[in-house]
């Protein structure tokens, strides 16, 4: 199983980014993909997750609004995270992760089975 994130960049505050996560090596669609982020000196935090099986979504309470997770309808193995109105506090390494056969949707990192290497987002003033 391989997860590859891309789309991280240096952007000015107020801008937008779309991060991509490409998942390969899974035999079916019974999995969830989540985005987490880890800012310098801080713990990893969950942002949002998406069920590949039924397209259900789940967001961390503090991430409603500016963050939008979605699955590509054509490329079934790709999940995006759109981040709008970027703030300095969004500077972090963003990781995608896969939970196999999820019973529900959530952002407990201990439930996720596979992780990508991360893509760095830096927001400047």
The three-state DSSP-derived secondary structure of the chain is CEEEEECCCEEECCCCEEEEEEEECCCCCCEEEEEEEECCCCCCEEEEEEECCCCCEEECHHHCCCEEEEECCCCCCEEEEEECCCCHHHCEEEEEEEEECCCCCCCCHHHCCEECCCEEEEEEC
What local confidence, expressed as pLDDT, does residue 73 receive?
87
Each residue's pLDDT, cut to its tens digit, for the chain (125 residues) gives 999 999 999 999 999 999 999 999 999 999 999 999 999 999 999 999 999 999 999 999 989 899 999 999 898 899 999 999 999 999 999 999 999 999 999 999 999 999 999 999 999 99
What local confidence, expressed as pLDDT, does residue 24 receive?
97
């Amino acid at each position: 199983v391989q997860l590859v994130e891309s789309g991280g960049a240096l952007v000015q505050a107020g801008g937008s980014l779309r991060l991509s996560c490409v998942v390969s090596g899974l035999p079916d669609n019974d999995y969830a993909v989540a985005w987490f982020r880890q800012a310098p000196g801080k713990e990893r935090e969950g942002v949002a997750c998406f069920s590949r099986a039924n397209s259900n979504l789940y967001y961390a309470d503090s991430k409603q609004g500016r963050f939008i997770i979605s699955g590509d309808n054509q490329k079934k193995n790709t999940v995006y995270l759109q981040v709008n109105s970027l703030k300095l506090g969004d500077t972090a390494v963003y990781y995608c992760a896969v939970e196999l056969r999820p019973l529900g949707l959530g952002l407990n990192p201990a439930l996720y089975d596979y992780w990508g290497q991360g893509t760095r987002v830096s927001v400047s003033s």
